[in-house]
Amino acid sequence: MTEFASGTLTGKNLHLSFGHNHVLRGIDLHVEKGTTASVIGPSGSGKSTLLRVMNRLIEPDQGDILLDGRSVLKDNPDELRQRIGMVFQQFNLFPHKTVVDNVSLALRKLRKLSKEQARSEALEQLDLVGLKHKADSRPANLSGGQQQRVAIARALAMKPEVMFFDEATSALDPELVKGVLALMADLAKGGMTMVVVTHEMGFSRNVSDTVTFMDAGVVVESGPPEQIFTSPRTDRLKGFLSDVL
Amino acid sequence: MDLLDQLADTFFNWEEMAKVIPALLMVGLPNTLILAVASGIFGSLLGLALAMMGISRNAGARWVARIYTDIFRGLPAILVILVIGIGLSPIAREITGSRNPYPLGILALTLIAAAYIGEIFRSGIQSVEKGQLEASRALGFSYGSSMRLVVVPQGIRRVLPALVNQFISLLKDSSLVFMLGLAASDREIFRIGNDAMANTGNLSPLVAAGVLYLILTVPLTHFVNFIDNRLRTGKPEKKEPDELAAPIGKGAQA
């Protein structure tokens, strides 16, 4: 993997409510440059919402988001999102475009590259995820695992400083999970700053540098993987781990 | 037998048909196509604007679209054509300097078509999964660019069959502009058939006009079925012979 122009991402005291539903209740998350933070926790704990708040797909009610130590809340949110790649559970590839056009769309329209240059960069990204030969297929003709790797290539093509993964393997058939996780592990080793919301405890334990356990909109416990998985301190984390492991 | 002969003469008098066919093809067909195609294009543009307003976060825009749609979908086409065609004709005469009722006929047909097409587009756009907008915005596209590049193209594709149905309906409704009084060279298919019927007392010219409408609409109907099918099953993909043997890259166990 190539070197990434990674950044350090910090969320401070993030709050978000939908009406009376207080989804995030003061979340702190610090991801040092080039490290991988995984976020685990039961469904409905606010993990996915946290990702969407940190790239301002949803604006927080309160708190601050810093990229490389500078608050980005006053920036144009579209520009912030160009610096943070995101991969979704449901892939969300654009079905009306070919694989290579999925990857090159933002390069052409946002980076203003020429058609040829955008295509060649997109092909390069597809090569990195092993799917160059599918460049002119439609997403619908790819397996779930292949689609998710295209989605990763699409996000990487923008040369993001941080990558978000929102349960990237949850919608995949079991035999396809490994390929996507291997690619994510490659990115982590390559020095990409990553925030990985996941139910894959193996990945969380073996690949991430820090693990954050969320429940009911708060961070219950966080620390290095050994500490979280071998000596959980709170009953909530102990209970969660005994449910999932 | 007399009765059958009489019916055959009333509907299928080949002589009367042959007399009207040149005018149907040379005058009626182009005029009908002008009316239908122009109002189809303008109606689609206005309909797209109405659809965007209908899903807008701005309540005012939503209301305008709602009220517009309710009015123009709720009125008989012939009433709209008469009210616009007659009511606005002094203004149109001042602007264009001609008494040709076509601009107003096209306007009236456009206003009606836009109400239906707007609803068709809106339902298509709203049927696109939320994840598409989210993924596009996550890449850094603005709301407007995301709609234009990602959401709207998919939404329109899904409703192409309904859209073509609307065009068929528009093609037929274009016959109603005859109400505005047309000069001989402005007559469309229906009016030519109707005039010939009035002159001869024989229905065959109208039957010929009807056949011409069917020649236009039936292929469109089948075109709808074709694209409907294509949208359901997708374009057959050409497989490269060496595709299976293509090199597998890094992290490619899947």
Predicted model pTM: 0.83
pLDDT category of residue B249 using cuts at 50, 70 and 90: very low
Distance from CA of A49 to the nearest CA of B (A): 13
Residue numbers of A between 90 and 119 with CB closer than 8 Å to B: 90, 92-96, 105-106, 109-110
Distance from CA of B239 to the nearest CA of A (A): 9
Q: Both tokens of residue A199?
A: 């139910």
Q: Both tokens of residue A209?
A: 């540098």
Chain B residue numbers with beta carbons less than 8 Å from the beta carbon of A106 are: 139-141
Distance from CA of B198 to the nearest CA of A (A): 52
Chain B residue numbers with beta carbons less than 8 Å from the beta carbon of A176 are: 254
Chain B residue numbers with beta carbons less than 8 Å from the beta carbon of A171 are: none
Residue B200 burial by Cβ neighbours in a 10 Å radius (0-12, 13-18, 19+):
middle
Distance from CA of B100 to the nearest CA of A (A): 43
Give A129-172 pLDDT, tens digit per residue. Answer: 999 999 999 999 999 999 999 999 999 999 999 999 999 999 99
End-to-end CA distance of chain B: 77
Q: Please check whether residue A156 is in contact with residue A125, taking contact to mean a CB–CB distance below 8 angstroms.
A: yes
State the Cα–Cα distance between residues B8 and A230, nearest whole angstrom. Answer: 94
Nearest to B253 among A78, A151, A182 (CB): A182
User: B141-180 as b/e, with b when 16 or more CB fall inside 10 Å?
Assistant: beeebbbebbbbebbbebbbbbbbbbbbbbbbbbbbbbbb
User: For the residues A20-37, what does the mean pLDDT come to?
Assistant: 95
A88/B134 CB distance under 8 A: yes
Chain B residue numbers with beta carbons less than 8 Å from the beta carbon of A133 are: 243, 246-247
Type and span of the H or E element at A25 = strand A21-31
User: For the residues B90-103, what does the mean pLDDT come to?
Assistant: 85
Residue A175 at interface with chain B, using a CB cutoff of 8 Å: yes
- In this predicted structure, the answer to whether residue B231 has a pLDDT above a threshold of 80 is no
pLDDT at B136: 97
Give A88-136 pLDDT, tens digit per residue. Answer: 999 999 999 999 999 999 999 999 999 999 999 999 999 999 999 999 9
Q: Which residue of A has its CA nearest to B253?
A: A179
Q: Which residue of A has its CA nearest to B150?
A: A94
pLDDT category of residue A15 using cuts at 50, 70 and 90: very high
Please report where in the chains the tokens 């587009």 appear, as a residue.
B121
State the Cα–Cα distance between residues B1 and A78, nearest whole angstrom. Answer: 80
